Structure 1
Amino acid sequence: MRVRGFTMKLKPGCAEEYRRRHDALWPELAALLRESGISDYAIFVDRGSNTLFAVQKLGPEFDPEALRRHPVMRRWWEYMADLMEVHPDKSPVEGELELMFHLA
């Protein structure tokens, strides 16, 4: 199992709507994430900077490119694009984080 950490950025004033949409996560998206090899996924927010910090546990079968191409993932990105900094294809702008310490 591999752990991945990354950042994303919310637009100002969008934290509550971001939370609301994730509280109502589409069942098909949750299933897709699990089927893709994500066994644990948490997102935190730093409200001072609107920075999201995400942590995922990834199984050996995790294929990020297959997930990026999946229609459900692309539809979710379109749905979330008004709340976040995104690329032209509506995927979130992400900053990879280097794991420095992990106590298990």
Structure 2
Amino acid sequence: MGQIMYLHKDAYAEYEKRHNNLFPEMRQALKAAGAHNYSIFLDQKTGQLFAYLEVDDVAAYNAIAETDAAKKWWAYMEPLMDTNPDKSPVAVDLDEVFHLD
């Protein structure tokens, strides 16, 4: 999966710090949802984030939105980035158009 998200320009260091100290329950929820090989990249000029992750089952992964861990994480991260009314990050899902094994 690939997604674009939007970080506030004054929050770069704090965003990285918080991800380096990911809540244990959020890490566990991601693993339980089948997420692996997860990376987030930052465009320093624009604040645009690119997230790449592999999931075993997209529907199972998307169910993470209903967990207490995700809701707690979103509330914690909400001041740093563009968010939806439920505090989830504004995210644009990307379609894969090329893959090299």
TM-score clears 0.5: yes
SS at match of 1:81: helix
Q: Which residue of 2 aligns with 1:56?
A: 53
Q: Is the 8 A contact 1:6 1:55 kept in 2?
A: yes
Does residue 29 of the first structure (1) align with residue 57 of the second (2)? no
CA gap of 1:14–1:58, structure 2 versus 1, over 3 A, is same
> Is the Cα contact below 8 Å between 1:38 and 1:62 reproduced in 2?
no
Amino acid at match of 2:47: N
Unaligned 5+ runs, structure 1: none
Aligned to 2:4: 7
Normalized per residue, the structure richer in helix is 2
Contact 2:3 2:94 (8 Å CA) reproduced: yes
Is 1:47 the counterpart of 2:9 in the alignment?
A: no
1:103 and 1:81 map into 2 onto residues whose CA distance is 35
* Aligned positions, number: 101
SS at match of 2:19: helix
Give unpaired runs (5+ residues) of structure 2: none
Identity among equivalent pairs (%): 36
1:89 alignment counterpart = 86
| 2: CA distance, partners of 1:57 / 1:64 | 10
1:37-77 Cα distance to aligned partner (Å, 9 max, x none):
10221000001110000001010375244210101100000
Residue correspondence of structure 1 range 59-70 to structure 2 within 5 A: 59-60=56-57, 62-70=59-67
Runs of 4+ with >2 A deviation: none
**Structure 1: distance between partners of 2:71 and 2:61:** 13
Report the TM-score, using the length of structure 2 for normalisation. Answer: 0.93
Question: Cα RMSD (Å) of the superposition?
Answer: 1.3
